[in-house]
């Protein structure tokens, strides 16, 4: 039975990123002690950039034992300003002694988005030595929350929401008139720990919906690790609209 979701409301963005960095560091040390490595999927967007910059200056992280993946990527080359890989590389990976062969980015320069998604799925299958039908178990998956309730690149009313077998898909997002390459719910819900990082007043309306509106059926409400932790780290501004009622009343049990 999954552990109940946890929420931590931090007083400021700085405290938020410090709390996230402490979680990352503790989990990295524990995973390396227990399994010799730490597998983490990074999120994109703007919010985690401050976390990555803080981690780049955080001592005692076993960088050479960490394997980096991305929970989603924009369909752009790695040097493009919209690239999630580029953001993480500039704010973190280029500044710490990570092994180059432990960075598994999405080959999003591939013209055919479906081919890029299949390639990344194969990368997961090879890295985690998966047999057909198996789902990888990441030690940690970082996620953000979009103003429409999307997470990774699982946007409302998109086909990837109904994908229960593939690990990675190319998801057509009408409003961007573009594909996104994204992990699917099976991968997100197989993780040992999922951390949502949410900051700023503009996220307060959607955060309230996620936690308190069970009829909203938002993609981020369907992230419920079946056998893992779900931790929401949010700052006070983002939590500004929460009624203080029973959080998570709206978060349904994990998908079957
Ligand atoms: C992306 C992300 C996406 C992001 C949310 C929140 O590629 O954009 O993975 O899911 O986490 O859109 O984005 P912000 O942090 O920029 O608000």
pLDDT digits (tens, 9 = 90+) for 95-116: 999 999 999 999 999 999 999 9
Q: Is 176 in the pocket of ligand 1 (CB under 6 A)?
A: no
* 246 pLDDT higher than 80: no
- The pLDDT, as a whole number, for residue 214 is 82
* 2 pLDDT higher than 80: no
**Residue count of the chain:** 256
Q: Which atom of ligand 1 is nearest to the CA of 151?
A: 10
- The pLDDT, as a whole number, for residue 5 is 86
Query: pTM value?
Result: 0.96
Going by alpha carbons, the residue nearest to atom 12 of ligand 1 is 146
Pairing mode of beta strands 140-143, 229-235: unpaired
Q: Which atom of ligand 1 is nearest to the CA of 47?
A: 15
CA angle 101, 102, 107 (to 5 degrees): 80
Q: How far is the CA of 126 from the centre of ligand 1 (A)?
A: 27
Q: How far is the CA of 151 from the centre of ligand 1 (A)?
A: 7
pLDDT > 70 fraction of the chain, expressed in percent and rounded: 94
Q: Which atom of ligand 1 is nearest to the CA of 48?
A: 15
* 253 pLDDT higher than 80: no
Higher pLDDT, 246 or 136: 136
Q: Is 182 in the pocket of ligand 1 (CB under 6 A)?
A: no
CA angle 236, 214, 193 (to 5 degrees): 60
Quickly state the pLDDT bin for 251 (edges 50, 70, 90): low
* 126 pLDDT higher than 80: yes
- The pLDDT, as a whole number, for residue 4 is 80
Q: How far is the CA of 48 from the centre of ligand 1 (A)?
A: 9
List, as one string, the DSSP characters of the chain.
Answer: -PPPPEEEEESSHHHHHHHHHHHHHHHHHHHHHHHS-EEEEE--SSTHHHHHHHHTT-SS--GGGEEEEESEEESS-TTSTT-HHHHHHHHTGGGTT--GGGB----TTSSSHHHHHHHHHHHHHHHTTPPTT-----SEEEE---TTS-BTTB-TT-GGGG-SS-SEEEEEEGGGTEEEEEE-HHHHTT-SEEEEEE-SGGGHHHHHHHHH-TTS--GGGG---TTSEEEEEEETTTTTT--SS-TTTTSPPPP-
């Amino acid at each position: 039975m999954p552990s109940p979701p946890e929420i931590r409301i931090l007083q400021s963005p700085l405290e938020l990123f410090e709390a996230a960095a402490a979680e990352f560091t503790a989990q990295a040390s524990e995973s390396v002690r227990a399994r010799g490595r730490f597998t983490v999927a990074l999120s994109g967007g703007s919010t985690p950039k401050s976390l990555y910059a803080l981690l780049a200056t955080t001592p005692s992280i076993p960088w050479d034992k960490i394997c980096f993946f991305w929970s989603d990527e924009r369909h752009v080359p790695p040097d493009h300003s919209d690239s999630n890989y580029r953001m993480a590389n500039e704010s973190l990976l280029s500044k710490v002694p990570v092994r180059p062969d432990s960075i598994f980015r999405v080959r999003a320069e591939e013209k055919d988005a479906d081919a890029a998604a299949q390639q990344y799925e194969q990368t997961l299958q090879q890295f985690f030595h998966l047999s057909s039908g198996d789902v990888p178990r990441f030690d940690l998956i970082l996620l953000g929350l979009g103003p429409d309730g999307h997470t990774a690149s699982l946007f409302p009313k998109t086909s990837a929401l109904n994908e229960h077998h593939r690990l990675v898909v190319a998801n057509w997002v009408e409003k961007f008139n573009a594909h996104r390459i994204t992990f699917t719910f099976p991968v997100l819900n197989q993780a040992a720990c999922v951390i949502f990082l949410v900051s700023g007043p503009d996220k307060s309306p959607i955060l309230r919906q996620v936690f308190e509106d069970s009829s909203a059926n938002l993609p981020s409400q369907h992230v419920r690790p079946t056998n893992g932790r779900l931790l929401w780290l949010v700052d006070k501004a983002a939590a500004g609209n929460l009624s203080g009622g029973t959080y998570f009343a709206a978060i349904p049990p994990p998908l079957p």
